[in-house]
Amino acid sequence: MGRRLENLEQFGIDVVLERRHGVRASILRGILYALSFVYDRVVQLRLYFYRKRIFRERALGVLVISVGNLTVGGTGKTPIVEKIARALQTGGRRVAILSRGYKSVPRKRSLLSRLYKGEADPPRIVSDGASLLLDSRTAGDEPYMLAHNLKNVIVLVDKDRVKSGLLAIEKWKVDTLLLDDGLQYLHLKHRLDIVLVDRQAPFGNEFLLPRGTLREAPRNLRRASYIFITKNTGEPNDALVKRIRRYNRTAEIIECAYKCRWKVYVILSSARSAPSPRRKALKPHWQSSVRVSIWPRVTLIIITIPKRS
């Protein structure tokens, strides 16, 4: 059953990205294209309701910065969030990162416990600023990475960012909330919206979900305070900047590039196995290591070593 679902999911992805051809794929693309119009109207109606205050935003009395994008998939949000958190911390801010924990697995609570307490699950504390408290499976890969790399920064996971924000303010007295993938989270009032645009595929395949990879239409870039063009190669971005300016004439546009600073080694380990010779050889040069549980008694050890220039 699991394999069948995986094959169906892959077929859907291939249809959306136009890697599948034929009558069946063409019909499915037509259906998805029609649904994308409905999806766009729902998105715009939701934004209209928030603008007209029919749906109310919550203001928590602290600085709230959102980092997000218009497309599904990676645009490099996690390194940007980390960089911003470090800069805010250097400036004397007490920072908490709020994530929804994409693909994370919450800890199970019995039905009796839920009924007895009569409340939803509390936010998961990935880091309290001093210690890493959850593994990558429970926290999600990105929150776990942020918590591992950032000291004295609170990292919380919950779909309800208002709830996790309140916890961060009450328990740790934070004065800045950083929303990882927060552009579409409108229930919490943002002071600044930082939107990332992938230079290699700025607006996905130009279609909205479910026909394409856009979560919002490009015109919604008008909500951005700052726009980061990520994954730059050094080539000019004149055409992309010109298009961005059609949607937003005032936001500052910042071009970003990622530079490899580390060599990364991945070693498979189990509870019963002795340290491998390769692991022993790398030990004197370790900058850091992260253990990621992928199966009971089986762990991936990810080792980083400074890259020589």
Residue 305 has pLDDT above 60, yes or no: no
Give residue 302's pLDDT band: very low, low, confident or very high (50, 70, 90): low
> Among 192-196, 241-245, 255-259, 292-296, where is mean pLDDT lowest?
292-296
67 against 292, higher pLDDT: 67
Q: What is the pLDDT of residues 268-297, one digit of tens each?
A: 555 445 555 555 554 555 445 555 544 445
Asked if 263 contacts 273 with a C-beta cutoff of 8 angstroms, the reply is no
Say which residue, 62 or 285, is predicted with more confidence.
62
| pLDDT confidence of residue 80 | 92
How does pLDDT run across 85-126, given as a tens digit for each residue?
999 999 999 999 999 987 777 766 655 555 555 567 899 999
Which pLDDT does position 108 carry in this prediction?
64
Res 36 pLDDT > 60: yes
pLDDT tens for 41-58 read 999 999 999 999 999 999
pLDDT at 104: 77
- Lowest mean pLDDT, pick from 38-47, 210-219, 227-236: 227-236
Report pLDDT for 239: 96
Q: Which pLDDT score, from 0 to 100, does residue 294 have?
A: 44
